[in-house]
Amino acid sequence: MEKQKVKQLIKSYQQTYIFAMTHIHQAISEISANTVDLSIEQFFVLREIATGDEISATELSACLNVNKSAITPKLKKLEEKGYIRRERNKHDKRAVVLTITEKGNSVYEECEKQLELLVNEWLEILGEEDSEQFFELFQKINKSVVKPKK
């Protein structure tokens, strides 16, 4: 690909990333201001825990592609707020797994609903055909670029 197109792609990605993260942050902040006091990073951690059965901190850091030391303070905050709990692994008593609490699940569902509304707005702007193409391309990028790096 020619250099100018690569530069345009990088700029477009940067603008899209900043736009999306800003709007996601605003949506979560609106909920947080009213009820939950949750940062966007804490939401992403909570989201990973909520979408699985049990997960270890090591598995969580791998899913989020961050160092385990970056996850630890977020887990501590989520546990202090009563959104998650640490439990002994039923199969390996030496290991600890993370699970979501009822309170945490309620917060997760509220934030997830806002996130889905936001993304649906964007998809409506694109229209059905472009949304499908976007989805297929996003899946292809995830499968061929993101997943192999993990």
User: How far from chain centre, in Å, is Cα 64?
Assistant: 8
pLDDT in tens, 106-137: 999 988 998 999 999 999 999 999 999 999 99
58 contact partners, CB below 8 Å, separation of at least 6: 68
Q: What is the pLDDT of residues 22-36, one digit of tens each?
A: 888 888 877 765 666
How many structural domains comprise the chain?
1
Burial group, residue 88, by CB count within 10 angstroms (0-12, 13-18, 19+) = exposed
Instruction: Write the CATH number for 100.
Output: 1.10.10.10
Task: Convert 117-150 to b/e letters by CB count within 10 Å (16 or more is b).
Answer: ebeeeeeeeeeeeebeeeeeeeeeeeeeeeeeee
Average pLDDT over residues 143-148: 82
| CA atoms of 70 and 72, how far apart (whole Å) | 6
Look at residue 94 and tell me whether its pLDDT is greater than 80.
no
Range of the domain at 85: 3-149
